[in-house]
Amino acid sequence: MPDRPVIWIPRRLSDATLERARRDYDVILNENDTPGSADEIVAMSAKVDGMIPCHSEHFSADVVARLDPRLRIVANHSVGVDHCDLAALRKTGIVVTNTPDVLSDATAEIAMLLMLGAARHAVRGDRIVRQGQWDSWSPSFMVGKQVTGARLGIVGMGRVGRAFAAKARGFDMEIHYHNRSRLRPEDEAGAVFHEDVDSLLEISDFLSLHCPATPETRQFLNADRIARLPRGAVVVNTARGALVDEPALLAGIESGHLAAAGLDCFAVEPGGNPAFASHENIFMLPHIGSATRTTRDAMGFRALDNLDAFFAGKDPHDRLV
Ligand code: 8YV
């Protein structure tokens, strides 16, 4: 290994991250800030010892099979790693890390924003004021769904799910959750565990998704599960678009079974789902859950901490593979 390893940073990470990276590594930065294509990832693997990709760089089995053995570590700048074929990477011996913990609060903030905005007609309200269409008022004008005291169902009580639960407690929400396994009482903090997903769905006035996208969770929220939610429920997704059957969600909105949805993630990104656009009770954001200055710095530093440990011959803290 060279004294000063060479790393590739395909996207424009925070200034503080780039400054620290350049201090300690020879950095190749994609100044255009465009997603690294499969061919680019493969070509770069012969020139660098490590990479800091985002979720926009896809390490499919095909890409992994073409990687040059010079590449030793993929230090992801994300907690989600569904853009990486971990099984394929494991076979190559390339170390893979992610950035958990540091983005939980920022993502939980966006979940809170989506939940409140969806429940209280933020899109329509903003539009009518902005466009000068606010010309009347009545007691039945823009009546929404109250968040305070409502039942919140959380699917996936990992770091982000727990951060969201902590914020929701400030709204006196009754918190219920489904998880692969029950949490320790101190982590549960009074939340009610549902071993059975259906039993969680049936009581969720608000349902928020916080599980990783895996083959098992693909299209988790399908038509059958949407039908199990109480009429007038609100769905929030800050995890991954792959968790939701989007045509089924749209059908739920159009039939009125769902009162609203708040989405930061879509099956197709960037871009989103154009079929959602005419529904003002779908409050949408362009995958910005972790996009705060504080969190971007923390994510960059966490990825660099993992690289530093690896190149110092230690096991990186967030090693997945
Ligand atoms: C970012 C994310 O959008 O961490 C994740 O899994 O989806 C987000 O934090 C992105 O991956 C930043 O690189």
Bridge partners of residue 286, in order along the sequence: none
Quick check: is 316 in a domain?
Answer: no
Question: What percent of the chain stands above pLDDT 90?
Answer: 99
Quick check: is 86 in a domain?
Answer: yes
Are 42 and 115 found together in one domain? no
Per-residue pLDDT at 318 exceeds 50:
yes
Question: Among 240, 246, 296, 302, which one carries the catalytic annotation?
Answer: 240
Quick check: is 41 in a domain?
Answer: yes
Q: What is the number of the ligand 1 atom nearest to the C-alpha of 55?
A: 11
Per-residue pLDDT at 147 exceeds 60:
yes
Quick check: is 148 in a domain?
Answer: yes
Are 209 and 75 found together in one domain? no
Residue 1's pLDDT band, with cuts at 50, 70 and 90, is very low
Q: Domain residues for 262?
A: 104-284
Mean predicted lDDT score pLDDT of the chain? 97
Are 212 and 301 found together in one domain? no
- Domain holding 10: CATH number? 3.40.50.720
Quick check: is 321 in a domain?
Answer: no
Residue 2's pLDDT band, with cuts at 50, 70 and 90, is low
Read off the amino acid at residue 292. Answer: T
Token pair for 181: 């396994």
Q: How far is the CA of 80 from the centre of ligand 1 (A)?
A: 6
287 catalytic residue (yes or no): yes
- CA–CA gap between residue 309 and residue 318 (Å, rounded): 10
Ligand 1 contact via 78 beta carbon (within 6 Å): yes
Ligand 1 contact via 11 beta carbon (within 6 Å): no
Average pLDDT over residues 50-78: 98
Token pair for 80: 């989600």
Are 17 and 43 found together in one domain? yes
pLDDT tens digits for range 291-313: 999 999 999 999 999 999 999 99
Residue 216's pLDDT band, with cuts at 50, 70 and 90, is very high
- CA–CA gap between residue 270 and residue 251 (Å, rounded): 22
Look at residue 206 in the predicted model and tell me its pLDDT: 99
| Angle 85-91-93 from CA coordinates, rounded to 5° | 105
pLDDT tens digits for range 230-258: 999 999 999 999 999 999 999 999 999 99
Look at residue 44 in the predicted model and tell me its pLDDT: 98
Are 223 and 148 found together in one domain? yes
Report the C-alpha dihedral over residues 30, 34, 37, 42, rounded to 10 degrees.
Answer: 10
Average pLDDT over residues 134-148: 97
Bridge partners of residue 233, in order along the sequence: 258
Q: In the Cβ-directed half-sphere of 320, how many Cα atoms lie within 13 Å?
A: 21
Q: How far is the CA of 109 from the centre of ligand 1 (A)?
A: 14
Are 86 and 137 found together in one domain? no
Look at residue 3 in the predicted model and tell me its pLDDT: 76
Are 171 and 184 found together in one domain? yes
pLDDT tens digits for range 152-180: 999 999 999 999 999 999 999 999 999 99
Look at residue 247 in the predicted model and tell me its pLDDT: 98
Residue-wise DSSP of 182-200: PPPHHHHTTPEE-SSHHHH
Are 83 and 181 found together in one domain? no
pLDDT tens digits for range 96-140: 999 999 999 999 999 999 999 999 999 999 999 999 999 999 999
Read off the amino acid at residue 255. Answer: S
Quick check: is 212 in a domain?
Answer: yes
Are 70 and 149 found together in one domain? no
Q: Can you give the pTM of this predicted structure? A: 0.97
Tally of CB atoms within 10 A around 199: 15
Q: Is the Cα torsion angle 212, 217, 219, 224 positive or negative in sign?
A: negative
246 catalytic residue (yes or no): no
Ligand 1 contact via 17 beta carbon (within 6 Å): no
Q: In the Cβ-directed half-sphere of 125, how many Cα atoms lie within 13 Å?
A: 13
